[in-house]
Structure 1
């Protein structure tokens, strides 16, 4: 995956459209879990973007907005869904934390990872 593809994938996951009715935020808004492989693709795209911009002094506004939505909005939709009784997939909360850490990594220029869980 190259930077352009990763960029488009991340932005596309925040905007539901006729071309992409399965955008992550759209699915979560309607109480649907991610499609298989969707989180993996997002995490890969985040890593590609990180590698491309880690030494950059500034970021594209559209990219920043997509990162914000994938981090903050996804968490809000997860919590709202839980309160509404949606039974999210067991690893979705941890996956959303990974997305948040990857977004933080893009902002800081230093790759962050979750500590190993004690499960």
Structure 2
């Protein structure tokens, strides 16, 4: 019988030297763990990117309206966050925490203030 090269592989019924081995339970478990880690990593990257994009939309130029009980002050020449926080500080309070709260409330990326700038003082102070 004459066969072509393309049909030779389908008509050949000889034995193969390859030993077909079933994948063990440990191999399948390892593959499942790798797939889960890859999926968790992808989810983390997506969430981190989303939170970064949301946070980058905030700017110190556009303040939210002050809520009830919050005070608004105008920055005078020479005012610093340290001096303002020092005036708001109660006995035993950490000055760094007050500065952090002021920066967060006013969406400030640095501690520098400009004369005439509005600064919202949270109601806690």
- TM-score range for the pair, normalised by the shorter chain length: under 0.3
Q: What is the TM-score of this pair, normalised by structure 2?
A: 0.21
Greater share of strand: 2
User: Is the radius of gyration larger for structure 1 or structure 2?
Assistant: 2
Q: What is the TM-score of this pair, normalised by structure 1?
A: 0.22
